[in-house]
Amino acid sequence: MLILLGFCGATEVVPFQSRRESSFSELPRPTPVPNRLSAPLVCPKDCRQHLRRLQKGSLVADKVYGGEAMAKVFRTVLRLNDAKAKWLWILVCASAFLRVGAFAQNSLEDVHVPVPTRLMAAAEPDGGAYGASGAIRGVIKTSVDLVLVPVTVTDPMQRLVTGLSQDNFQVFENKKAQQIKHFSSEDVPVSLGIIVDTSGSMASKMDRVREAVKQFCDSANPQDEFFIITFSDEPRLLQDFGDSAQDIEGKLLFAIPKGRTALLDAIYMGLRKMREARYSKRALLIISDGGDNHSRYSEHEVNSAVKESDVMIYAIGTFDRNVSTLEERLGPQLLSDIAETTGGRAFILDDLVQMPALARRIGVELRTQYVLGYCPENPPHDGKWHKISVKLKLPKKLYYLQARSKTGYYASNE
């Protein structure tokens, strides 16, 4: 005890702070360790240079994907004492981050590439309902040398008139008379597309629709080719182009009505599918009971595609009298506007019993049309819409006959 008291008394008591400073001042300074990654020594005198190097690495790393993480890795690596380990980690991390950064840059640079939509991919030959191939492209405008105009002639009772000759027709383009250089009234093969509404409101009408499709196919030319698209919330290619009408009828048996009505999307898909048609004469038959209420494409976009497609469109509408929405009330007018532009026609039915006979009548009309061909005096290459009108040259006693044809075409701009 005396020894301890004597020892304590001989020892000077200093505050904690000053004792800490004195202890640090008495410690020997550490010998700097050479750093092989850089010529200068990493010591307290070079802290600023070391910090600048780390900051520079952060700025470079930030230019690629994951830059912040890359900078942290470099800071950790520089603290390693083993030079070989440092170099190994730097090479591995740099290659990994640069590779990720390259992928990220590619995805951003490819934004300008048109992205394929489900809607258009469904029209690809190898696609299912919504395939992954095919990008959106505008409707192609072919160069115009010979303009072909299918013409249907009817009487006031809408009966088809046959037996006319080339001299009984006059063709005008932008109100200028054109010389007819091609005339045909033969039954030629047609590429046909059938577009059927399978929305929920069609549940009680599908039996009549199946019968109408059968009648339409039975009245076709044996060499005709067919495809069928069904639509509800979205359009679906049910059967690709083929010569067998039985395949289409069989596939339609399993169609289950449900969902809403994407009518415009289905028409657009049908026009796209017609690009794969085998024959130059092409037509679509649409069967629906309501206006559009679930499409991505607008009416203006579809009307533009219709004008550029050179495809005749016929429609059978079975609209309910008591409709609740504006789209359903405008449905008959929508079908009429689209069909009449192409030289086709929209038929609005009150009685479903008439549907099969009407579908057969449309099939017969396609086989009894006249086809007029003319070459414009100065072939246009302006990319503009050129109006067409067809008039009949008949004896006065046949004044009541009427001719119906497409209303114009888009010229090429090349």
Do residue 152 and residue 297 come from a single domain? yes
The more confidently predicted of residues 83 and 226 is: 226
For the chain, helix, strand, coil in percent to 5 are 40, 20, 40
Same domain, 55 and 159: no
Q: Are 168 and 395 in contact (CB under 8 A)?
A: no
pLDDT of residue 23: 44
Q: What is the dihedral of CA 281, 342, 313, 309, to 10 degrees?
A: 60
Least Cα distance to 233 among 201, 271, 272 occurs for 201
Sign of the alpha-carbon dihedral angle for 320, 324, 325, 329: positive
Angstrom CA distances, 46 to 95, 149, 320, stand at 29, 87, 87
Q: Is the pLDDT of residue 17 over 60?
A: no
Integer Cα distance of 272 and 137 in angstroms:
10
Give domain status of residue 293, yes or no.
yes
283 domain-assigned: yes
Check if the beta carbon of residue 387 is closer than 8 Å to that of residue 410: no
Structural tokens at position 143: 């160069």
What is the arithmetic mean of pLDDT over 218-227? 93
**Across 49-63, 178-192, 289-303, 370-384, which has the greatest mean pLDDT?**
178-192
279 & 151 share domain: yes
Whether residue 18 is contained in a domain is answered as no
Q: Do 178 and 93 belong to one domain? A: no
92-150 pLDDT, tens digit per residue, is: 666 654 444 443 333 323 333 333 333 333 443 333 333 333 333 333 344 447 899 99
Tokens of 78: 């520089």
By C-alpha distance, which of 327, 368, 328 is closest to 159? 368
| pLDDT at position 309 | 92
Q: What pLDDT band is residue 22 in, cutting at 50, 70 and 90? A: very low
Q: If pLDDT is split at 50, 70 and 90, which confidence band does 153 have?
A: very high
Of 272, 265, 264, 224, give the one whose Cα is nearest residue 248: 224
Query: Final residue of a domain: which of 110, 134, 156?
Result: 110
Q: Is residue 274 within 8 Å of residue 306, measured between CB atoms?
A: no
Which of residues 57, 82, 110 is at a domain's end? 110
- For the ranges 15-24, 25-34, 57-66, the maximum mean pLDDT occurs at 25-34
161 and 78 within one domain: no
Q: Which residue has the higher pLDDT, 225 or 319?
A: 225
More confident site: 414 or 12: 414
Q: Which amino acid is at 1?
A: M
Looking at residue 260, its pLDDT comes to 92
Q: CA of 10: how far to CAs of 4, 23, 394, in Å?
A: 10, 19, 140
**Range list of H helices, 183-330:** 206-218, 245-252, 263-273, 299-309, 326-329
Residue 120 lies in a domain: no
- pLDDT-derived band at 395 (thresholds 50, 70, 90) equals very high
What contacts 206, CB < 8 A, 6 or more positions away? 198, 255, 257
Structural domain range at position 352: 147-378+386-397
Together in a domain, 175 and 310: yes
Instruction: Please report the pLDDT score of residue 104 as a whole number.
Output: 38
Q: Does residue 202 share a domain with residue 86?
A: no
**Span 34-65, pLDDT tens digits:** 444 444 444 444 444 544 544 444 444 444 44
Residue-level pLDDT at 113:
30
Q: What stretch of H or E contains 355? A: helix 355-367
- Report the pLDDT value the prediction gives residue 118, as an integer from 0 to 100: 38
Mean pLDDT of the chain: 76
Residue 374 located in a structural domain: yes
Token pair of 366 as six digits: 């396609």
Q: Mean per-residue pLDDT for 314-343?
A: 85
Distance from C-alpha of 184 to C-alpha of 162, rounded to nearest angstrom: 12
What's residue 40's pLDDT? 43
The pair of structure tokens assigned to 193 is 């597309």
Give the DSSP letter of residue 12.
P
Query: Does position 248 have pLDDT exceeding 60, yes or no?
Result: yes
What is residue 142's predicted lDDT score, i.e. its pLDDT? 43
Alpha helices in 32-82 (DSSP H): 47-61, 67-78
Domain count, the chain: 2
For residue 315, count CB atoms less than 10 angstroms from its CB and return exposed for 0-12, middle for 13-18, buried for 19 or more: buried
Q: Is residue 321 part of a domain?
A: yes
Report CA 392 to chain centroid distance, whole Å.
Answer: 41
> Is residue 152 included in any domain, yes or no?
yes
113 Cβ partners below 8 Å, 6+ apart? 135
User: CA-to-CA distance for 200 and 203, rounded, in angstroms?
Assistant: 6
The predicted structure's pLDDT at residue 392? 97
Whether 91 has a pLDDT exceeding 80, the answer reads: no
Cβ neighbours of 171 (radius 10 Å): 20
Whether residue 10 is contained in a domain is answered as no
Helix (H, G, I), strand (E, B) or coil at 209: helix
User: Same structural domain for residues 233 and 325?
Assistant: yes
CA dist 51 and 169 (Å) reads 89
First-to-last alpha carbon distance for the chain, in angstroms, is: 114
